[in-house]
Every structure is written in C-alpha cells, then in structure tokens.
Amino acid sequence: MALAFTFPGQGSQAPGMGRDLAAAFPAAREVFQEVDETLKQKLSKLMFEGPPEDLTLTANAQPALMAMSLAVLRVLETEGGFDLKARVALVAGHSLGEYSALAAAGSLSLATAARLLRLRGDAMQQAVPAGEGAMAALLGAELEQARAICAEAALDPLTEARQVVEIANDNGGGQIVISGHAAAVDRAIEGAKAAGVKRAMKLPVSAPFHCALMAPAADAMAEALAGADLRAPLVPLVANVSAAKATDPTMIRDLLVRQVTGTVRWRECILAMGAMGCDQFVEIGAGRVLTGLMKRLAPEAKASAIGGPAEIEAFLRSL
C-alpha cells in the first residue's frame, strides 16, 4: 500500500487548532514557538484562542495552517519515529498547503516556509483593491462547463470590455471554484444558474485568489523565492499547476510562482497520485476538507486525517 501525505489550504483554519497538540507534545510546542519567533508575532495564541476574524486574515491563516501541519508531522517523527522519506511515496498540498508539503519533505525549512507564506498572504491581499475581486463555488459543475460559463461571463455587456473570471480550483466531485473581477464573477453565478448548475454561490474571501488579477503577488513571490533556500524534497511533490511530480528546486520555484495566478488542479493531482500507485491518503494538519474530497475523487482509496493527539496515536498504531 503506497502512502501519500496531503496538506490543507485556506479555509481549514479554526480557533483552537493546535492547542491540544501543544499541550500534549513538546515537539509541537517547539514548532509553534519557532514560527512565532520567525514572524515576531504570537501566531500560536491566535491559533489557540482566536478571534476567528483575525485568524482568517490571509496573512495569518497561511503560516498558521503550515505551522499546524508541521507540528503534526514533527510529533509523528519524535513520538513514533516516523520516517517520511522511507514511508511516504508522494506529497501534495492544496494552494498554500504546497508550502507545507515542501517543508514536510525537507525542501524548505520551517522558518523559510513561515516567512514565504506571510509574504504570500500579504501580497495576495494587496494585489487587488478591496471589493474589486470575488470568488464563487460552482457545485455540480464539470470543468469544461465551468470554463464555458467563465468565457461568456468575462464580457461586460455594457462596455464590451473583457474582465477576468477564471477557474481557481478544480477540486473534483463537481466542485469548481472561480475567481476574478467581482462583476464578472456575479455574471458567472447567474450564467451557472441558467445552465442548470446545482448551486452557485459567492465565497466569503478577502481577495480573488488563483487568477490573473494576482499577477502582482506572483511577481512578489518570484522575487522572494529567487532568494530562498529551496532544496530537492526528500519525496516528490505533485504540484498544483502541473498535476505532475516535481523534485528539481528550479522547477519547484517556477511552479510556486505560477501557482499564485494558476488553477489548483486538485482533482488531477489526486488522480495522478493514484495512477502512480498511491492508495492511502493521509491529510496532515487542520480540518478534514481534503479527506472529504478524497471520498468523491477516489472512493476506493483509504483516506484519513491527522490533526490531534488521538489521531496521531491511532495512525502510529496502524503502521
């Protein structure tokens, strides 16, 4: 049975995350303390106590979710002697989770990942003025159908100018997320309803992620990644924008830059990992979003999530 580790993205954060881990395991406390010191912020207190509106801010949520994932992994390593290189065939992460995956696989240090994600969160937030962008979920839509809806919605009927509205996430199971100019996203929602899509709704996000409007953030990340210490991962990464294996540091830098404006091809990533022999998928960190998607994408595979002490103990007993 080949094992893949997956790492969650924004939306999985919740006040209280990591608190039980920190109380139970010194190794988890060390991860949270290192991230706090790196960012010169008590991010761990925000994770443990909230308030939710501050934790949800992109610049906080991104490094917080990475810290949570790495704390779980560090506990697996210290408490159970878990050897990622020996036991895990592939890693993948959803959006910011790609940085967690790379840190888990030794490609990025914990401190470097924290700094990059703080910069990434700030840059993505600042790329588009508040209110100008939006994102929406199309539930029950297929990829080609969603592309057609976006192509039609991109044209402003009043000015005949084209606006941005693109596929941000192909999560699988009929779950497509679109992103772009707020007016174009509104038109796409109406177009989806007219096309018979089961449900189309705006998402409560602060910026239009993973679309062409994020180009200024991609430029900022290109500069930051050029100067970052990024090594070959201990196990291959299956990258968001290519849905293919990557191990070369130069290629990974390029993929991380492209990811800011590109589609998160999560459905294809999971199918690719299955085709490469993975039949057990373990989500490392906060929440169970990716585990829920797995049930639709690969119902025959074994899927589970590890986010707390009891789940860590159960996983280590299962090895």
For the sheet containing 2-7, what is the strand order?
A: 245-246, 237-238, 88-93, 2-7, 278-284, 302-306
196 burial via Cβ count (<10 Å: 0-12, 13-18, 19+)? exposed
Instruction: Give CA–CA dist 99/13, Å, rounded.
Output: 16
Contact 180, 207 (CB under 8 A): no
Q: Give one DSSP letter per residue of 65-94, joined into a string.
A: HHHHHHHHHHHHHHHH---HHHHEEEEEES
Q: DSSP letters along 85-125, please?
A: HHHEEEEEESTTHHHHHHHHTTSS-HHHHHHHHHHHHHHHH
Q: Each residue of 279-299: b (16+ CB within 10 Å) or e?
A: bbbbbbbbbebbbbbbeebbe
- The question of whether 210 is a catalytic residue gets the answer yes
**Annotation marks residue 95 as catalytic:** yes
- Give the burial class of 240: count Cβ atoms within 10 A of its Cβ; 0-12 exposed, 13-18 middle, 19 or more buried: buried
The number of beta carbons lying within 10 Å of the beta carbon of residue 85 is 10
Please identify which of the residues 44, 95, 179, 242 carries the catalytic annotation: 95
- Of these residues, 12, 69, 210, 242, which one is catalytic? 210
β-pairing, 237-238 with 245-246? antiparallel
Tokens of 205: 């996000």
Distance between CA atoms of residues 161 and 310, nearest Å:
55
CA 188 to chain centre: 24
**Hey, what are 250's tokens?**
């130069």
Catalytic residue set: 95, 210
